[in-house]
Structure 1
Amino acid sequence: MHVNLGGYHINDIEFSAAFDIDKEKVGFDLGDAIWRGQNNTIAFAKVGKLGVPVHRGMTHDGLGKYLSEVIEKAPGPTADIVKILKDTKTDVVVNYLPVGSEMATKWYTEQILEAGCAMVNCMPVFIGREQYWRERFEERGLPIIGDDIKSQVGSTIIHRVLTRLFQERGVELEHTYQLNFGGNTDFLNMLERERLVSKKISKTNSVLSQMQ
């Protein structure tokens, strides 16, 4: 889709650090860890050793009721996130924590700010849209992008396209709703409805933006 952002191509990405709480991933090279545990993604590319170990991250509210049934937390204390980001000279941190990880995301955002890194927030805890956080990044001259993402061809983008199509064809849309079904841990996590407050706001706003 959009492989070029602000002059940076997706090929420019070099992995420098990684964090997780899954026992199946922590301590392993990132090139191996991506295939371990509950990852059911189709292998569409060969990934060798990256020389980037997966460090023990902070849990907070990152592991919900249903995820904890299939994921065992790695033992040991949380790694020194700020030190690792600085030592590895990491420029940009991508946040892909599970939906509903409000406390964990805000905790990581503090670490990112202290380490002097930019942030791409790929999940619906509102950081980029909130003035409090946005100003703190601006004060440090750090970019913040987000919040949340859409799948390449997921339910939200299809919902948006249909909403726009109805308008262009003169159909008055009075009510609409969206159901999300999938087979990975993201959808397992979202069975815990209490974790979906921000997600629902994010996706609703995405669809409403197409309605005049």
Structure 2
Amino acid sequence: MGKIKVGLIGIGNCASAIVQGVLLSRRDPSRTKEVLYEDIGGYKIGDIEFVLAIDVDVRKIGKDLGDAIFEGPNIFPRLIDETKTGVKVIAGPVLDGVAEHMRDIFMPHGKEVSMDDIVRAIKDSGAEIIVNMLPVGSEQATRFYAEAALRAGAAFINGMPVFIASDPKGEWQEKYKKAGLPLLGDDIKGQFGATILHSSLTALMRERGITVNETYQLNIGGNTDFLNMKEEERLMSKRESKTSAVAHTLKNPAELIQTRRIR
């Protein structure tokens, strides 16, 4: 079988984990045993090939993807010695991808990057799937890349909480359906984090006949994602996404959300 050609948008900690995970699985396939679905339709993790990488940080642009994942402000640990991919990180448009209070941390470039530039880059790379991992609150930037992937004829996986695949108006779903392209998302859960633990507990309570009148979770973290979310406006879609994930394990999700008894 052939390779799955993937383009990454946002070369942060999540991208570092994905890139290193793929490279590690090629070197030692036994390391994939903890992955939920080790084989999908005959494809395995090692079949993923990174062909495109886009970021806005001057420390990452122009570097090999395998080197850029260790540039600041990334803090995900090194899992493998050799990470070269042969793919150089290119500049994407900043748009709303960097919060004002994060500009000294992310160090965005000052270049003009157009839709045509990105569509051309996707086509030239041969990317079949674009994976979006921009910071929370990147509403405009996420829609930009969803449109770019669509124009370039690539599938789009949205790994952050902007409602594209779950667009309540159905506009994005219709566009991708019409183009015959896959669209997945939004806001991918980590393997084991606060939301999956919270929703598992509330689902268990429902199964055991317990009525949940009110519940909330507090997320504590030390990476740029949490620093980014200090700006309340950027947190709105994230909160809605996480609240919905937990609420729908209970009997009366709409009421709990409306009365703010689930947070």
Short-chain TM bin: over 0.9
2: CA distance, partners of 1:136 / 1:7: 29
Equivalent in 120, 144, 148 of residue 83 of structure 1: 120
Shift of 1:60: 0.6
2: CA distance, partners of 1:148 / 1:22: 22
Q: TM-score, normalised to structure 1's length?
A: 0.94
Shift of 1:36: 0.6
User: Does the C-alpha gap of structure 1 residues 195 and 7 become closer, same or farther in structure 2, counting only changes over 3 Å?
Assistant: farther
1: CA distance, partners of 2:133 / 2:83: 22
**Any gaps of 5 or more consecutive residues in structure 2?**
1-35, 252-263
1: CA distance, partners of 2:238 / 2:66: 30
1:128 maps to 165
Equivalent in 213, 220, 223 of residue 174 of structure 1: 213
Tell me if the contact between 1:19 and 1:55 (Cα under 8 Å) persists in the aligned partners: yes
The count of aligned residue pairs is: 212
How is 1:1-212 mapped onto 2 (pairs within 5 angstroms)?
1-5=36-40, 7-78=42-113, 80-130=117-167, 131-212=170-251
* Deviating more after overlay: 154-163 vs 73-82: 73-82
Shift of 1:196: 1.2
2: CA distance, partners of 1:21 / 1:193: 22
AA aligned to 2:134 is: L
**Any gaps of 5 or more consecutive residues in structure 1?**
none
Q: Deviations over 1:12-59 (max 9, x none)?
A: 110001100011101111010000111100112234321101000111
Alignment root-mean-square deviation, CA: 1.5
SS of alignment partner, residue 16 of structure 1: strand
Shift of 1:109: 1.1
2: CA distance, partners of 1:65 / 1:75: 14
* Deviating more after overlay: 143-152 vs 65-74: 65-74
Q: Deviations over 1:107-126 (max 9, x none)?
A: 11111111000011000100
Q: Deviations over 1:90-114 (max 9, x none)?
A: 1000000110100011111111111
2: CA distance, partners of 1:27 / 1:52: 9
Fraction of identical pairs, as percent: 47
Shift of 1:172: 2.0
Tell me if the contact between 1:62 and 1:104 (Cα under 8 Å) persists in the aligned partners: yes
2: CA distance, partners of 1:65 / 1:196: 14
Tell me if the contact between 1:56 and 1:77 (Cα under 8 Å) persists in the aligned partners: no
* Deviating more after overlay: 162-171 vs 10-19: 162-171
